[in-house]
């Protein structure tokens, strides 16, 4: 017999066939948060917008996120991570109109990885965030979500 337990972020399936120690024999976890990324940071460069075949558009920009901590000497250290953000369709239009270098934004999306060959023929690997939502932070009347 399998029992399903649903929560806000996880769905749990337990095979209630018992082992000798009384625990469920099998436990399956299905997450509703699979491949979900949320970032808040600053835009590192003005977005590039590319018009593709059949009216498709893609926006691409970099975004910096900062993590602060104190090292063993008690000094404040900032670690900056850079992320490449990709957005398609209407979200690319919003980015074109409102996102500029230095602006603070919140991004939600998923991680994607791909490979390509550079000019010398070496295989390169890239991980990017494909945005599904953007929130422009910092006030003003240009706060937008998609």
Q: Do 59 and 122 belong to one domain?
A: yes
Is 12's pLDDT higher than 60? no
Task: Quote the pLDDT of residue 31.
Answer: 58
Q: Do 16 and 44 belong to one domain?
A: no
Q: What is the pLDDT of residues 84-134, one digit of tens each?
A: 999 999 999 999 999 999 999 999 999 999 999 999 999 999 999 999 999
Task: Quote the pLDDT of residue 141.
Answer: 44
Q: Do 13 and 62 belong to one domain?
A: no
Closest by CA to 125, choosing from 115, 139, 135, is: 115
Q: Do 10 and 47 belong to one domain?
A: no
Distance CA 66, CA 61 (A): 17
Q: Do 17 and 44 belong to one domain?
A: no
Task: Quote the pLDDT of residue 142.
Answer: 47
Q: Which domain holds residue 6?
A: 2-31
Task: Confirm whether 144 is domain-assigned.
Answer: no
Task: Confirm whether 52 is domain-assigned.
Answer: yes
Q: Do 24 and 73 belong to one domain?
A: no
Q: How far is CA 127 from CA 39, 52, 86, in A?
A: 15, 21, 11
Structural domains counted in the chain: 2
Task: Confirm whether 145 is domain-assigned.
Answer: no
pTM over 0.75: no
Distance CA 24, CA 15 (A): 6
Q: Do 45 and 17 belong to one domain?
A: no
- Between 18-22, 101-105, 133-137, the lowest mean confidence (pLDDT) is in 18-22
Q: Do 61 and 100 belong to one domain?
A: yes
Residue 143: pLDDT band with limits 50, 70, 90: very low
Task: Confirm whether 100 is domain-assigned.
Answer: yes
Q: What is the pLDDT of residues 35-88, one digit of tens each?
A: 899 999 999 999 999 999 998 999 999 999 999 999 999 999 999 999 999 999
> Which residues have CB under 8 Å from 72's CB, separation 6+?
none
Is 18's pLDDT higher than 70? no
């Amino acid at each position: 017999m399998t029992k399903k337990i649903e929560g806000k972020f996880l769905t749990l399936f337990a095979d209630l066939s018992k082992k000798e120690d009384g625990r469920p024999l099998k436990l399956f976890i299905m997450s509703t948060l699979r491949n979900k990324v949320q970032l808040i940071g600053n835009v590192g460069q003005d977005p590039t917008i590319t018009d593709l075949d059949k009216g498709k558009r893609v926006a691409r920009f970099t975004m910096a996120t900062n993590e602060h901590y104190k090292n063993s000497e008690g000094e404040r250290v900032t670690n900056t991570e850079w992320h490449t953000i990709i957005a398609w369709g209407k979200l690319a239009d919003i980015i074109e109109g409102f996102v500029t270098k230095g602006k603070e934004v919140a991004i939600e999306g998923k991680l994607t990885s791909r490979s390509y060959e550079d000019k010398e023929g070496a295989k390169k690997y890239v991980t990017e965030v494909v945005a599904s939502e953007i929130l422009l932070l910092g006030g003003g009347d240009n706060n937008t979500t998609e």
